[in-house]
Amino acid sequence: MPNYRRNRIPGGTCFFTVNLLDRKSDLLVAHINELRDAVREIRQIKPFLIDAWVVLPDHRHCIWTLPAGDDDYSDRWRLIKKTFSKSIPKAEYRSEVRIKRYERGIWQRRFWEHTIADDVDYAAHMDYIHYNPVKHQWVSVVKEWPYSTFHAMVAKGVYPLDWAGCEMRGFDAGERN
């Protein structure tokens, strides 16, 4: 397996983007309970803190903080993808290469990762995550999207319920998926 250049900081906080192979699919929201169960199961085996997350039909963004001394987010993603894939019916197209490798045709093989540098970077990525459903035009206001940590952040006083993302820090509208 290739050794990708990843910034591995034990106990670090990272932002992730994880995509489905079929970017026109709605698999993640259609099977949101299976995804939640997969994440919950892997967190019991390999704990991590979910600082924020949003699940869109074809991709998800999140911020995780790993336990002190632990930098293995790649294995956690591998296990989450595998557990989720096993929990849903086999209906996707699979290429000959994926068949040969015993892979499902659900996920892109890689994921995008960014180590959070400081409080400003953290706040900007939190905003990006919670504004993403509006950016992709799934809803017109942030509070309408049910598959994110936005409402939990409102309850904690991080965001007001009517937050519109206007004050997003550090991102242009078209920067990331």
Q: Where are the alpha helices (DSSP H) in 10-147?
A: 27-30, 32-45, 73-87, 96-100, 119-135
Nearest to 92 by CA among 38, 41, 23: 23
Contacts of 12 (CB under 8 A, 6+ apart): 65, 66, 71, 115, 116
- Residue 27 confidence (pLDDT): 93
In a domain, 40, yes or no: yes
- What's the CATH number where 112 sits? 3.30.70.1290
Distance of alpha carbon 138 from alpha carbon 136, whole angstroms:
6
In a domain, 94, yes or no: yes
In a domain, 8, yes or no: no
- Residue 174 confidence (pLDDT): 46
- Residue 177 confidence (pLDDT): 47
For the chain, how many structural domains are there in total?
1
Please check whether residue 35 is in contact with residue 50, taking contact to mean a CB–CB distance below 8 angstroms.
Answer: no
In a domain, 78, yes or no: yes
**Catalytic positions, written as ranges:** 147
- Residue 176 confidence (pLDDT): 44
- Residue 153 confidence (pLDDT): 96
In a domain, 129, yes or no: no
Full residue range of the structural domain in which residue 36 is found: 13-117
In a domain, 85, yes or no: yes
- Residue 173 confidence (pLDDT): 44
In a domain, 104, yes or no: yes
Q: Please state the pTM of the whole predicted model.
A: 0.88
Cα separations in angstroms, 34 against 44, 97, 137 = 15, 26, 24
Enter the tokens of residue 40.
């919950």
User: Which residues is 62 bridged to in the sheet?
Assistant: 16, 53
Cα separations in angstroms, 140 against 4, 131, 133, 134, 157 = 37, 10, 8, 6, 22
In a domain, 177, yes or no: no
| pLDDT tens, the chain, 177 aa long | 455 677 788 899 999 999 999 989 999 999 999 999 999 999 999 999 999 999 999 999 999 999 999 999 999 999 999 999 999 888 777 788 877 877 787 899 889 999 999 999 999 999 999 999 999 999 999 999 999 999 999 999 999 999 987 656 655 544 444
User: Which residues is 55 bridged to in the sheet?
Assistant: 60
State whether residue 82 is helix, strand or coil: helix
- Residue 48 confidence (pLDDT): 97
